[in-house]
Structure 1
Amino acid sequence: MLRALDIRDMLIIDRLDLSFQPGLNVLTGETGAGKSILLDSLGFVLGWRGRAELVRQGAAQGEVVAEFHLPGNHPARAILEEAGIPASDELILRRINTADGRKTAWVNDRRCSGEVLRALSDTLIELHGQHDDRGLLNPRGHRAMLDAYAGLDAGLADTRAAWTEMSRRRKSLAEAEAALAAVRAEEDFLRHAVAELDKLDPQPGEDAELDTRRRMMQGAERIRDDVARAFALLGGDGAEGAMGDALRWLEGVADRAGGQLDEPIAALGRAMIELGEAQDGVDACLEALDFNPAELEAVEERLFAIRALARKHDVAPDELGGFADTLRARLNRLEAGDADLADRRAALHAAEAAYDASARALTAARAEAAGRLDKAVMAELAPLKMERAVFETGMSEAEPGPEGRDTVAFTVATNPGAPAGPLNKIASGGELSRFLLALKVCLTGDDSGRTLIFDEIDRGVGGATADAVGRRLAALAQDGQVLVVTHSPQVAARAAHHWRVQKQVEDGRTLSTVIPLNPEERVDEIARMVAGDTITDEARAAARALLDA
């Protein structure tokens, strides 16, 4: 609900503070008094596109502040959360327009973009009038209005879920088909490469092992003689024999040395053990150095084959085994591809059937709701003196989407037998106003806490028809807030709160102001609307009769 509107230096308004209330609020005044400026200012703070020049002449900048009350379940809270703006029961929008055209906006003291303002405005205000392109006259929103009227939240959720699943299945099938086509294009390469890798069967670490073995065999001829001579010096004719003789001589006299040879003897024993280990290692080396030249050739051949295959596939030698597994998996996918595609096609077919069933159910529900809406609107048109007009909710097939495959458009024919067409193409000004009002009365459940604004929607009607318009506007306002700019005394008389917009000249400047009216002032204002500039006693009596009706 709109609580307050503060305007500074906008067009012919220098300073204006308005406090609005629940129920039906009307603004009246002579033509040109500035009623449209209020709507321009409200549209400015809500981010709507409007006049380019809004700043009052001579002012450095214009500013509009709008204060709204947000119930706990108001849809504006979700937009605030997404924008990272703290939400509370109070929402304050503030927007500044400098004289050079720069615009800056704040929401609850946080800087924000015009896009955020417009998203919020869709949940806060709904404007209806003869030049309305945002509300009921916009065919792009008719399907959503019908869905809200029909209460199709569950059906829409099911259809969106079915569309998402169908889209996911289509994407999955397309990806699988593309992957399979790519594998088929390289089938010959894969089979040849896997066969080549399987035949060689390279093992992790084998490249390093073969390289070490090759280097050892290549150097064997140069080092074998020295290793053999060292082995001979360590044996029985060398160090081993000498150390054995020394140990035996010392052990033979140890009992007469008073224990002084015990430690040397133990040390020699340990040395003999270490010497034996050295002999074993040297002997193993000699065995390794003793190779057949054909073995060197075989080692080199395998080493070069592994490295050539690694270069061919641009992988490290130790990664050849894993690379072979990857190619083998791609071949397996090729062999299992047809079965996999068949499974994916079956899953897609099931998803398409589920979407089709959900979309058909949505279409049927919309068609049933369209019939009910048509009857409801026709019932509202009769008191508005349009009993000969025909309203119809047209449905046609559209491209499938997440919300079904229906196009919905509200059409009218002003007389039986006349061709039907869009609201804003067929109806005249007064007729259009009454169509919009009748339709809005029937769709009132779709307000979602929005403030409804009707801009001279009663133009072109009077008498009993204007009274019927006023009564319906009052009914709309019972559980919410409706703002009406009107020239009709019958409509103004139905208001719970009444403001008069007027112009005045101060110091050579024309300024517009808005004055809240008390009960007696309301009588005079409605009398002016009845009789014109000269307010007579008869006009006041007529005004009181309207107020008491």
Structure 2
Amino acid sequence: MLRGLDISDMLIIDRLELNFQPGLNVLTGETGAGKSILLDSLGFVLGWRGRADLVRQGAAQGEVTAWFDLTPEHPARAVLEEAGLPVNDELILRRINTADGRKTAWVNDRRCSGEVLRALSETLVELHGQHDDRGLLNPRGHRSILDAFGAMDGARAKVRAAWSEMARTRKAQATALKAQEEIRAEEEFLRYAVAELDKLNPEEGEEAELDGKRRMMQSAEKIRADVVNAYEAMGQSGAEAQLADAFRWLDGAAARADGTLEEPMAALNRSMIELDSAMEGVVTAIEAMSFDAHELEDTEERLFAIRGLARKHDVQPDELAGFADRLRAKLGALDAGEAEQAKLNAEVKAAEAAYATAATALSDARKKAATKLDKAVSGELAPLKMERAVFATQITAEAEGPEGRDAVSFTVATNPGAPAGPLNKIASGGELSRFLLALKVCLTQGQSGLTLIFDEIDRGVGGATADAVGRRLGAIAEGGQVLVVTHSPQVAALGAHHWRVEKSVTKGMTTTNVVPLNMDERVDEVARMVAGDTITDAAREAARALLGA
């Protein structure tokens, strides 16, 4: 709840510090005293969009600080955690507005954006008045209000989950159908290309192998002649015969050489062995170089076919095999498309049925909650002297979405037989205030954590009706906090805490001040509200009666 508000150099406020309490807090004062300035200042520190010229004339900047107590389960904690801001039992908001319009905000001494402030404000403060377009008077929010009243979080979660699943299956269905259409458009090309690739059946690395083979065959005749010459130089008419002769001569002389020829003979023997191995390798090479003209022609034909197909499909020759696999996969998808589409169609149908079931259950729950809410509001209207008025929650069908397929609007008929219409268009000022109050009494049952502000919600009513308004405000404030700006003595007298807003002029400067009132001061203030400028003894007696003093 709101514990305090510190305002400096805002409009006609020089410096003002207020400490609020739980329960019903009332602010009174003459018209023009500055009560709306307090709300403007509070809205400023909460990030609400309002008037731009807030800085007091002559001041360099205006500043507002507000501090709140947070219960352990307060929803503001989640907003703070998501924004990466410190989370404590006390929440301090501070915002500065310079004379040139620049605004800077802090949350628990950490800089933050106006967006974060507004997200926090939705969990901290709720403003109601005749010109409130952020809350009960905004038809766009009526469905959420009804759902909150009917505690339909679970039913809404099921609808959102079913909507997400339905959207997923529909997207998958549309994607598959589009893919099928794209493949079918190129089916003729795919089948021809796959047949052509299958006929050639290129393998990875084959192009390089064929190119090497072709080059070798092109130069094989010259290479083979050189290799044959080398073989002959090594053979029986060449090195082999000479080495054999040398070995015989050494062997014949070895017996007379006292062992000096053993090592040379061993080396010569090893050379003869190596020569023999070299000759075997050369023979293998000569055999490999043996080909006919048809083999070269076939090799070139396949090599050129592979390269031509690679150019045709704009891929590398080594990628042809993988490219063929991808084309086959497309054809496979096309061939299997009907079965896959049937499966997806079934999934969509099941998801749509699940959504319909969840949305119907939510609609039924909303209708029951609407009946309950209408009855509860009607029960609150009688004490507010509107027993003949009718409040009705209308539920109509709208396009399906993640929140269901219901449009919700609050309608009223102020007199029997009169047509019902939107809440903010049918009721007069005083009636509208009472409708809003009755509705809020019903909606706040079981809620906690919000500070509710009612800006002249009692305008246009008086006497017993004003007393009933005050008692309803007191009921809302039980266990929570309500701030009400009022001109009604009956409402003011029912407040647990009372402040008077007053305006003064000092040295030509107009300023607003807010004064907490004790019981004697409250008697005078309520008497002023009863009698006007001149407070009579009778007015004081009436005030004491209202205050129970």
Q: Would you call these one fold, judging by a TM-score over 0.5?
A: yes
The separation in 2 between residues aligned to 1:3 and 1:254, in whole angstroms, is 123
The answer to whether residue 145 in structure 2 is matched with residue 145 in structure 1 is yes
- Greater Cα shift, 72-81 or 362-371: 72-81
Letter in 2 for 1:12: I
**Aligned ranges 1:52-67 → 2 under 5 Å:** 52-67=52-67
Letter in 1 for 2:440: K
- Counterpart for residue 405 of structure 2: 405
Once the two structures are TM-superposed, the CA of residue 252 in structure 1 deviates from its matched residue by 5.1
Once the two structures are TM-superposed, the CA of residue 444 in structure 1 deviates from its matched residue by 0.4
The separation in 1 between residues aligned to 2:141 and 2:253, in whole angstroms, is 119
Q: CA-to-partner distance for each residue in 1:475-527, whole Å, 9 max, x for gaps?
A: 11112111100111111122121111000111210100111112222222122
**2:254·2:262 contact (CA, 8 Å) conserved in 1?**
yes
- Counterpart for residue 396 of structure 1: 396
**1:75·1:448 contact (CA, 8 Å) conserved in 2?**
no
- Counterpart for residue 159 of structure 1: 159
- Counterpart for residue 134 of structure 1: 134
The answer to whether residue 303 in structure 2 is matched with residue 318 in structure 1 is no
Q: CA-to-partner distance for each residue in 1:163-213, whole Å, 9 max, x for gaps?
A: 000000000000000000000000000000000000000011100100000
SS in 2 for 1:373: helix
The separation in 2 between residues aligned to 1:6 and 1:481, in whole angstroms, is 18
Letter in 1 for 2:333: R
Q: 1:471 and 1:273, CA in 2 relative to 1: closer, same or farther beyond 3 A?
A: farther
SS in 1 for 2:86: coil
**1:148·1:445 contact (CA, 8 Å) conserved in 2?**
no
- Counterpart for residue 475 of structure 1: 475
Letter in 1 for 2:123: T
**2:458·2:488 contact (CA, 8 Å) conserved in 1?**
yes
**2:129·2:454 contact (CA, 8 Å) conserved in 1?**
yes
The separation in 2 between residues aligned to 1:474 and 1:265, in whole angstroms, is 126
The separation in 1 between residues aligned to 2:26 and 2:224, in whole angstroms, is 114
The separation in 1 between residues aligned to 2:491 and 2:254, in whole angstroms, is 136
Q: CA-to-partner distance for each residue in 1:236-273, whole Å, 9 max, x for gaps?
A: 22222322333344455556655544433333333333
Q: CA-to-partner distance for each residue in 1:367-417, whole Å, 9 max, x for gaps?
A: 011001000000000000000000000110011000100000001010111
- Counterpart for residue 414 of structure 2: 414
Q: CA-to-partner distance for each residue in 1:66-87, whole Å, 9 max, x for gaps?
A: 1122223222222223323232
- Counterpart for residue 525 of structure 2: 525
The separation in 1 between residues aligned to 2:448 and 2:215, in whole angstroms, is 85
The separation in 2 between residues aligned to 1:88 and 1:256, in whole angstroms, is 113
**Aligned ranges 1:96-495 → 2 under 5 Å:** 96-251=96-251, 254=254, 257-445=257-445, 447=447, 449-495=449-495
**2:448·2:480 contact (CA, 8 Å) conserved in 1?**
no
Letter in 1 for 2:340: D
The separation in 1 between residues aligned to 2:247 and 2:64, in whole angstroms, is 113
Q: CA-to-partner distance for each residue in 1:130-169, whole Å, 9 max, x for gaps?
A: 0000011111111011101111111001000000000000
The answer to whether residue 538 in structure 2 is matched with residue 542 in structure 1 is no
The separation in 2 between residues aligned to 1:541 and 1:255, in whole angstroms, is 158
SS in 2 for 1:21: coil
The alignment yields a C-alpha RMSD, in angstroms, of 1.6
- Counterpart for residue 36 of structure 2: 36
Once the two structures are TM-superposed, the CA of residue 118 in structure 1 deviates from its matched residue by 1.7
The separation in 2 between residues aligned to 1:397 and 1:148, in whole angstroms, is 19
The separation in 1 between residues aligned to 2:470 and 2:124, in whole angstroms, is 23
Q: CA-to-partner distance for each residue in 1:86-108, whole Å, 9 max, x for gaps?
A: 32222222222121222222222
**1:9·1:59 contact (CA, 8 Å) conserved in 2?**
yes
**1:70·1:91 contact (CA, 8 Å) conserved in 2?**
yes
SS in 1 for 2:336: helix
- Greater Cα shift, 445-454 or 347-356: 445-454
- Counterpart for residue 19 of structure 2: 19
**2:448·2:479 contact (CA, 8 Å) conserved in 1?**
no
Q: CA-to-partner distance for each residue in 1:329-358, whole Å, 9 max, x for gaps?
A: 000000000110010000000000000010
SS in 1 for 2:219: helix
The separation in 2 between residues aligned to 1:543 and 1:249, in whole angstroms, is 151
SS in 2 for 1:514: strand
**1:504·1:512 contact (CA, 8 Å) conserved in 2?**
yes
SS in 2 for 1:369: helix
Letter in 1 for 2:35: K
- Greater Cα shift, 525-534 or 298-307: 525-534
Once the two structures are TM-superposed, the CA of residue 223 in structure 1 deviates from its matched residue by 2.2
Q: CA-to-partner distance for each residue in 1:434-489, whole Å, 9 max, x for gaps?
A: 10000000000474522100000011111111111111111111121111001111
Letter in 2 for 1:363: S
Number of aligned positions between the proteins? 549
Unaligned 5+ runs, structure 2: none
- Greater Cα shift, 120-129 or 76-85: 76-85
SS in 2 for 1:50: coil
The separation in 2 between residues aligned to 1:308 and 1:411, in whole angstroms, is 77
**1:148·1:446 contact (CA, 8 Å) conserved in 2?**
no
SS in 2 for 1:432: helix
Identity percentage of aligned residues: 72
Q: 1:254 and 1:161, CA in 2 relative to 1: closer, same or farther beyond 3 A?
A: farther
The separation in 2 between residues aligned to 1:14 and 1:340, in whole angstroms, is 74
Q: CA-to-partner distance for each residue in 1:43-87, whole Å, 9 max, x for gaps?
A: 111121211211111111111111122223222222223323232
The separation in 1 between residues aligned to 2:319 and 2:206, in whole angstroms, is 11
SS in 2 for 1:346: helix
The separation in 1 between residues aligned to 2:446 and 2:279, in whole angstroms, is 99
Once the two structures are TM-superposed, the CA of residue 542 in structure 1 deviates from its matched residue by 2.0
The separation in 1 between residues aligned to 2:144 and 2:409, in whole angstroms, is 11
The separation in 2 between residues aligned to 1:408 and 1:152, in whole angstroms, is 14
SS in 2 for 1:363: helix
The separation in 2 between residues aligned to 1:416 and 1:251, in whole angstroms, is 143
Q: 1:63 and 1:236, CA in 2 relative to 1: closer, same or farther beyond 3 A?
A: same
**1:145·1:446 contact (CA, 8 Å) conserved in 2?**
no
Q: 1:383 and 1:148, CA in 2 relative to 1: closer, same or farther beyond 3 A?
A: same
Q: 1:239 and 1:72, CA in 2 relative to 1: closer, same or farther beyond 3 A?
A: farther
Once the two structures are TM-superposed, the CA of residue 318 in structure 1 deviates from its matched residue by 0.7
Unaligned 5+ runs, structure 1: none
SS in 1 for 2:47: coil
